[in-house]
């Protein structure tokens, strides 16, 4: 069932998820490409912040509610049913890479990055994730294969790097004020004058950077640096965003926020794009990624789909407050395999679905502290 | 809190406008550079103007220049720190037509502005001297003082007229006989006569300027009539630039010695001191002990009338007034422009290549210079050989960079060749002109007849004109190449993937 933007925001509003309300309002206002509406959305966001709505204040002032509804009505008026084109942005065909020094090589690999799609690349350290990303971004030469950028006609590397933006794990240090850097990034791609002011103010507000606008690199935390970097890159309106370990410097909440933002922004009609990112946070990435690649020793060993379930059956992780015997007693009579990594039990079964096994545990009175269905997760392949 | 110190609102508004609308120009910081240059120049000019400085004394401008050079170096470093913060090219921004040429020109202009501040102290010093002393006034005073002194010393100095024989020689082809004696034996006369003076054509010009009584005996021999030297106060620089005629020794002789009436010495001394006081600094004559004057070998005259002090003062005035004359101005301006040109080229290539390639380019340039120098010395290269080698290097770097810049992978060698070609570009026409003249006209420099003849001067001026045209042409070629070939090459090279 498709949820309209209006319904989505109203749902957040009803559940008092004010942070999400504002983020989505800002996103949809940007989609309208209408400066007065974008200004209204920025003003409303500032008003929410001043009222403490982002700090857990559950009471929405009537003025704010009125303002929100007014903006929503404007958005409804302006909203158009723009067909979202999920075309291929990058088509990599059999790319491989061997370094002159060292034994590692990325084996021939093919993949497509579609517009509005997020691809997660997971794998252990040193298995070729970053190499793959750098080849896709045109940073590294490939030994074999081709990378085709569908929207570009006979591009040179300079044009490609304008089209595809790579954010490395270690964000390069920038100088001067955060705000100046954003103005600069917008201006160099032709966003000038009032649009420049408006979009920078929008990005500051959208990524919660308004209070840090006049600070420099050394005055903000690494989490805010990541946010800044994404805001800076988005101002350049790239078609493909490539992020290497973007979650590495972020706390749990910030990771969630960033991933949700990416999910929203890839499908923004203002600048729809494709995203490919690497991460060690399997579950978080799997939640938002449309496709997940697992890379091991330079090979792509898995792509999201039903292969794991078909090959290995159902599986879940569980942490219990009882002894192991309680678990064994509860699952007595079922066909399953169990492994214990010291923290969690991983239970797999070809014969029973996860819900069936879980029901058995609950009915036996096992105290479940943590549970995750990993039937289709790459976690099983690690 | 203001965004920039000492910057008025308009500067911040310009800064803001450029940041949001002309980012490439904004990164050069030309607006801030121009503003702070203006503030600094005004401040420095005012400081130089209000600091007391006696034009009669030795100039302290050398200390100012040293201090100024240090400040310029600091300013360049600060400018670069700000310049390197933002880079449109390296962040793969949109490069519009004309952007590269404009950006490079602003680098150059910024550096010219910084270097130009070195000239402020000497210019102010010249201006302050011009306010107090005019050349005509000084020459008039010199004439008056010389006549007054001649009159004062009329009874003490025995004036005489001396005849010298001058033989014009070419030192390249004829070495005159060395003789320590003032007299030489003349075979034709069978008696000792005053030894002739041997002068080159160049030296003769100076003699002719000074003397008024010359009798040419033939093309290379003449008689020179000189009288006692009455140039007690004398300064060539001042005299050279004056419209007022300097009284020569004969003029003073005629004025003083044809008047047979006795002079009122006390009155004349008062008149002399009234003029001389304008040029006295109060320093003791001992300070000028190095001063040597053939008029007064014993020093009695100069010490009693303070002539050393006066001469020194007038010399200082002359130096301050005419330090910009002749070639010194051209040399000073050229120095500043070439320093700015070289630094701006370094900044330009740094802004368009990787840090590693930039420093490797510098290292390569130094190594090539050293190795080439050694080879050229060992193979006894002449000027045309050195210039030819530079042409070959430039062509090689450019062709190599052109051939390799489109490779699939970014090569450091290609980057080095490109950087070196860019740096050599403005000098290429100058090298070509110099090489052409060396190949076609170098033999003339060894031809004494040519050097002595009028063609020599004409040739030198033509050569200089060609070099000046080549200098301007070189800069224009650089700008054109930057906007066309180099922009394309840097774009191809920098964005290419690495191995």
The more confident residue out of B288 and B229 is B229
This model of the complex carries an ipTM of 0.84
Q: What angle do CA A229, A234, A239 make, to 5 degrees?
A: 125
The shortest CB-CB distance from A138 to any of B91, B93, B497 is to B497
Yes or no, beta carbons of B19 and A180 under 8 Å apart: yes
- CA of B489: which chain A residue's CA is closest? A158
Total domain count for chain B?
3
Q: Which of residues 309-328 of B touch A (CB under 8 A)?
A: none
DSSP, residue by residue, A135-165: HHTTSB--SEEEEEETTSSS--HHHHHHHEE
Range(s) of the domain holding residue B211: 135-273
Classify residue B405: in a domain, yes or no: yes
Q: What is the four-CA torsion angle of A220, A224, A229, A235, rounded to 10 degrees?
A: -110
How far away is chain B from the Cα of A296, in angstroms, using its nearest Cα? Answer: 22
Number of DSSP helices (H) and strands (E) in chain A, helices first = 14, 13
Classify residue B364: in a domain, yes or no: yes
Other residues' Cβ atoms within 10 Å of the Cβ of residue B109: 17
Long-range contacts: A366-370, Cβ < 8 Å, 24+? A366/A320, A366/A322, A366/A326, A366/A327, A366/A330, A367/A320, A367/A321, A367/A322, A368/A318, A368/A319, A368/A320, A368/A321, A369/A319, A369/A320, A369/A321, A370/A317, A370/A318, A370/A319, A370/A344
- Determine contact: B78 vs chain A, CB below 8 A: no
Domain boundary among B80, B104, B132: B132
Yes or no, beta carbons of B495 and A138 under 8 Å apart: yes
Cα dihedral sign, B243-B246-B251-B252:
positive
Token representation of residue B242: 């004056």
| Domains along the sequence of chain A with CATH | 5-78 (no CATH), 88-303 (3.40.50.300), 307-381 (3.30.70.100)
Please determine, for residue B400, whether its predicted confidence score (pLDDT) is greater than 60.
yes
Yes or no, beta carbons of A196 and B92 under 8 Å apart: no
* Cα separation, A328 vs B103, whole angstroms: 75
Q: Indicate the average pLDDT of chain A.
A: 86
Yes or no, beta carbons of A175 and B85 under 8 Å apart: yes
- CA B179 vs CA A246, B182, B184: distances in Å: 92, 8, 8
- CA of B90: which chain A residue's CA is closest? A158
Q: Which of residues 85-104 of B touch A (CB under 8 A)?
A: 85-86, 88, 91-94
- pLDDT band per the 50, 70, 90 thresholds, residue B291: very low
Residues B370 and B474 in one domain: yes
Classify residue B290: in a domain, yes or no: no
| Contact status, residue A242 vs residue A267, Cβ threshold 8 Å | no
Please determine, for residue B295, whether its predicted confidence score (pLDDT) is greater than 80.
no
Residues B225 and B248 in one domain: yes
Q: Identify the pLDDT of residue A55.
A: 74
Considering only the C-alpha atoms of chain B, give the largest distance between any 2 of them, rounded to a whole number of Å: 100
Residue in B48, B89, B84 with CA at minimum distance from that of residue B65: B48
Q: List the single range of A37-41, B79-83, B194-198, B358-362 with lowest mean pLDDT.
A: B194-198
How far away is chain A from the Cα of B353, in angstroms, using its nearest Cα? Answer: 13
Residues B145 and B113 in one domain: no
The shortest CB-CB distance from B497 to any of A139, A174, A193 is to A139
- pLDDT (mean) for B452-473: 82
How far away is chain A from the Cα of B26, in angstroms, using its nearest Cα? Answer: 9
Domain boundary among B215, B245, B273: B273
Yes or no, beta carbons of B497 and A187 under 8 Å apart: no
Residues B97 and B125 in one domain: yes
- pLDDT (mean) for B355-369: 95
Classify residue B340: in a domain, yes or no: no
Residues B365 and B484 in one domain: yes
Residues B356 and B499 in one domain: yes
Other residues' Cβ atoms within 10 Å of the Cβ of residue B229: 15
Yes or no, beta carbons of B21 and A187 under 8 Å apart: yes
Yes or no, beta carbons of B86 and A187 under 8 Å apart: no
Please determine, for residue A306, whether its predicted confidence score (pLDDT) is greater than 60.
no
Q: Identify the pLDDT of residue B393.
A: 95
- For A280, residues 6+ apart whose C-beta sits below 8 A from its C-beta are A122, A245, A247, A248
φ, ψ at B395 (rounded to 5°): -60, -40
Pairs across A and B, CB distance < 8 A: 73
Chain B residues with CB-CB distance to A135 below 8 A: 497
- pLDDT (mean) for A291-315: 74
- CA of A134: which chain B residue's CA is closest? B497
Please determine, for residue A69, whether its predicted confidence score (pLDDT) is greater than 80.
yes
* Cα separation, A49 vs A51, whole angstroms: 5
Yes or no, beta carbons of B19 and A100 under 8 Å apart: no
Chain A residues with CB-CB distance to B352 below 8 A: none
Yes or no, beta carbons of A192 and B494 under 8 Å apart: no
Q: Identify the pLDDT of residue B459.
A: 78
φ, ψ at B200 (rounded to 5°): -85, 170
Classify residue B301: in a domain, yes or no: no
- pLDDT (mean) for B101-119: 94
Q: Identify the pLDDT of residue B249.
A: 82
Residue in B237, B248, B233, B231 with CA at minimum distance from that of residue B278: B233
How far away is chain A from the Cα of B4, in angstroms, using its nearest Cα? Answer: 12
pLDDT digit string, tens, across residues A201-245:
999 999 989 999 999 999 998 888 888 999 999 998 889 999 998
Token representation of residue B317: 């005035």
Residues B73 and B53 in one domain: yes
- pLDDT (mean) for A178-198: 93
* Cα separation, A30 vs A24, whole angstroms: 10
pLDDT digit string, tens, across residues B24-40:
999 999 999 999 999 99
Residue in A254, A197, A184, A185 with CA at minimum distance from that of residue A220: A254
Kindly provide the b/e burial profile for residues B280-314, where b requires at least 16 CB atoms within 10 angstroms of the residue's own CB: ebebebeebeebebebbeeeebbbebbbbbbbbbb
Residues B238 and B159 in one domain: yes
Residues B393 and B437 in one domain: yes
Yes or no, beta carbons of A183 and B19 under 8 Å apart: yes
Yes or no, beta carbons of B85 and A176 under 8 Å apart: yes
Classify residue B113: in a domain, yes or no: yes
φ, ψ at B468 (rounded to 5°): -65, -40
Please state, for a pLDDT cut of 70, what percent of chain B lies above it.
Answer: 87
- CA of A155: which chain B residue's CA is closest? B492
Q: Identify the pLDDT of residue B20.
A: 94
Yes or no, beta carbons of B408 and A141 under 8 Å apart: yes
Q: List the single range of A106-110, A288-292, B441-445 with lowest mean pLDDT.
A: B441-445
Q: What DSSP designation does B233 have?
A: S
- For B201, residues 6+ apart whose C-beta sits below 8 A from its C-beta are B168, B170, B452
- For B300, residues 6+ apart whose C-beta sits below 8 A from its C-beta are none
- pLDDT (mean) for A84-101: 84
Mutation target for B interface from A158, A159, A238: give the one with most B CBs within 10 A.
A158
Please determine, for residue B238, whether its predicted confidence score (pLDDT) is greater than 90.
no
Yes or no, beta carbons of A157 and B497 under 8 Å apart: yes
- CA B230 vs CA B224, B240, B255, B268, B429: distances in Å: 17, 18, 11, 16, 52
- pLDDT (mean) for A266-277: 87
Q: Identify the pLDDT of residue B290.
A: 46
- CA of A160: which chain B residue's CA is closest? B495
Please state, for a pLDDT cut of 90, what percent of chain B lies above it.
Answer: 45
Mutation target for A interface from B2, B4, B23: give the one with most A CBs within 10 A.
B23
- Determine contact: B408 vs chain A, CB below 8 A: yes
- Determine contact: B260 vs chain A, CB below 8 A: no
Residues B143 and B252 in one domain: yes
Q: Identify the pLDDT of residue A3.
A: 66
Classify residue B338: in a domain, yes or no: no
The shortest CB-CB distance from A187 to any of B23, B409, B499 is to B23
How far away is chain A from the Cα of B23, in angstroms, using its nearest Cα? Answer: 6
Which among A325-329, B149-153, B475-479 has the top mean pLDDT?
B475-479
Yes or no, beta carbons of B94 and A160 under 8 Å apart: no
* Chain A positions with Cβ closer than 8 Å to B: 100, 135, 138-142, 156-158, 160-162, 174-176, 180-181, 183-190, 192-193, 196-197
- pLDDT (mean) for B96-108: 92
Classify residue B281: in a domain, yes or no: no
Rg (Cα) of chain A, in Å, rounded?
Answer: 23
Q: What is the four-CA torsion angle of A207, B93, A195, A183, rounded to 10 degrees?
A: 50
Residues B139 and B128 in one domain: no
Please determine, for residue A346, whether its predicted confidence score (pLDDT) is greater than 70.
yes
Domain boundary among B101, B132, B163: B132
Mutation target for A interface from B2, B4, B89, B92: give the one with most A CBs within 10 A.
B92
Residue A195: is it exposed, middle or buried by C-beta count within 10 angstroms (0-12/13-18/19+)? middle
Residues B494 and B360 in one domain: yes
């Amino acid at each position: 069932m498709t949820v309209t933007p209006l319904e989505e925001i109203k749902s957040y509003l009803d559940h008092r998820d004010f942070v999400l309300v504002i983020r989505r309002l800002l996103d949809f206002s940007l989609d309208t490409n209408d400066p007065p509406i974008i200004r209204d959305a920025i003003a409303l966001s500032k008003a929410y912040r001043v009222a403490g709505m982002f700090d857990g204040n559950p009471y929405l002032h009537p003025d704010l509610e009125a303002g929100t509804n007014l903006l929503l009505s404007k958005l409804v008026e302006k909203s158009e049913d723009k067909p979202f084109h999920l075309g291929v942005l990058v088509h990599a065909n059999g790319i491989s890479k061997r370094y002159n020094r060292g034994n590692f090589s990325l084996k021939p690999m093919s993949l497509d990055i579609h517009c509005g799609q997020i691809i997660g690349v997971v794998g252990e350290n040193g298995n070729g994730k970053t190499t793959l990303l750098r080849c896709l971004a045109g940073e590294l030469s490939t030994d074999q294969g081709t990378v085709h950028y569908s929207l570009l006609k006979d591009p040179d590397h300079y044009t490609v790097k304008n089209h595809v933006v790579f954010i490395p794990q270690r964000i390069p240090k920038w100088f001067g004020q955060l705000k100046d850097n954003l103005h600069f990034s917008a201006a160099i791609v032709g966003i000038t004058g009032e649009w420049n002011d408006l979009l920078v103010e929008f990005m500051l507000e959208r990524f919660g950077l308004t209070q840090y606008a006049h600070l420099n690199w050394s005055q903000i935390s690494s989490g805010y640096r990541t946010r800044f970097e994404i805001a800076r890159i988005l101002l350049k309106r790239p078609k493909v965003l490539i992020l290497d370990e973007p979650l590495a410097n972020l706390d749990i909440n910030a990771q969630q926020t960033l991933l949700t933002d990416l999910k929203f922004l890839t499908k923004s009609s203002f600048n729809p794009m494709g995203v490919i990112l690497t991460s060690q946070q399997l579950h978080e990435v799997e939640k938002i990624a449309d496709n997940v690649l697992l890379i091991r020793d330079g090979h792509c060993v898995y792509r999201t789909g039903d292969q794991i379930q078909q090959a290995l059956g159902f599986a879940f992780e569980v942490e219990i407050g009882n002894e192991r015997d309680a678990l064994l007693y509860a699952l007595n009579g079922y066909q399953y395999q169990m492994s214990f990594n010291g923290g969690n039990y991983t239970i797999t079964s070809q014969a029973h679905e996860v819900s069936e096994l879980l029901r058995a545990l609950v009915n036996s009175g096992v105290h479940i502290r943590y549970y995750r269905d990993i039937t289709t997760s790459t976690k099983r392949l690690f | 809190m203001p965004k920039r110190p000492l910057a008025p609102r308009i500067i911040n508004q310009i800064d803001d406008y450029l940041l949001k609308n002309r980012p490439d120009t904004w990164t050069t910081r030309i607006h801030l550079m121009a503003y702070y240059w203006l503030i600094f120049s005004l401040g420095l000019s005012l400081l130089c103007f209000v600091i007391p400085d006696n034009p009669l004394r030795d100039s302290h401008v050398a200390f100012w220049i040293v201090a100024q050079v240090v400040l310029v170096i600091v300013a360049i470093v600060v400018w670069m720190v700000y310049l390197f913060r933002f880079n449109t090219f390296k962040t793969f921004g949109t490069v519009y037509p004309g952007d590269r040429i404009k950006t490079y020109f602003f680098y150059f202009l910024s550096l010219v502005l910084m270097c130009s501040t070195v000239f402020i102290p000497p210019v102010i010093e010249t201006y302050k001297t011009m306010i107090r002393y005019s050349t005509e006034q000084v020459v008039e005073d010199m004439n008056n003082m010389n006549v007054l002194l001649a009159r004062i010393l009329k009874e003490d100095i025995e004036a005489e007229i001396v005849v010298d024989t001058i033989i014009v020689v070419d030192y390249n082809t004829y070495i005159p006989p060395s003789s320590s004696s003032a007299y030489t034996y003349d075979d034709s006369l069978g008696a000792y006569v005053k030894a002739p003076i041997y002068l080159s054509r160049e030296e003769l010009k100076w003699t002719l300027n000074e003397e008024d009584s010359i009798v040419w005996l033939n093309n290379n021999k003449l008689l020179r009539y000189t009288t006692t030297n009455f140039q007690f106060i004398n300064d060539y620089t001042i005299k050279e630039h004056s419209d007022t005629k300097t009284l020569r020794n004969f003029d003073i002789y005629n004025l003083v010695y044809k008047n047979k009436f006795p002079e009122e010495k006390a009155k004349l001394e008062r008149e002399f001191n009234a003029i001389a006081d304008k040029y006295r600094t109060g320093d003791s004559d001992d300070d000028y002990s190095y001063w040597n004057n053939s008029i007064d070998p014993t020093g009695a005259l100069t010490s009693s009338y303070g002539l050393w002090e006066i001469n020194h003062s007038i010399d200082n005035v002359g130096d301050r007034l005419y330090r910009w004359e002749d070639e010194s101005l051209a040399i000073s301006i050229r120095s500043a422009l070439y320093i700015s040109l070289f630094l701006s080229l370094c900044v330009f290539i740094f802004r368009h290549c990787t840090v590693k390639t930039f420093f490797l380019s510098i290292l390569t340039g130094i190594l090539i210079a050293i190795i080439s120098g050694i080879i050229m010395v060992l193979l006894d290269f002449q000027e045309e050989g050195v210039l030819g080698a530079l042409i070959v290097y430039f062509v090689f770097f450019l062709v190599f960079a052109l051939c390799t810049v489109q490779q699939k992978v970014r090569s450091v060698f290609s980057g080095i060749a490109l950087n070196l070609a860019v740096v050599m570009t403005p000098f290429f026409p100058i090298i070509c002109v110099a090489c052409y003249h060396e190949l076609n006209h170098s033999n003339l420099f060894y031809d004494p007849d040519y050097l002595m003849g009028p063609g020599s001067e004409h040739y030198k001026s033509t050569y200089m004109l060609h070099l000046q045209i080549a200098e301007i042409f070189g800069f224009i070629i650089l700008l054109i190449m930057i906007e066309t070939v180099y922009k394309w090459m840097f774009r191809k090279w920098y964005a290419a993937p690495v191995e």
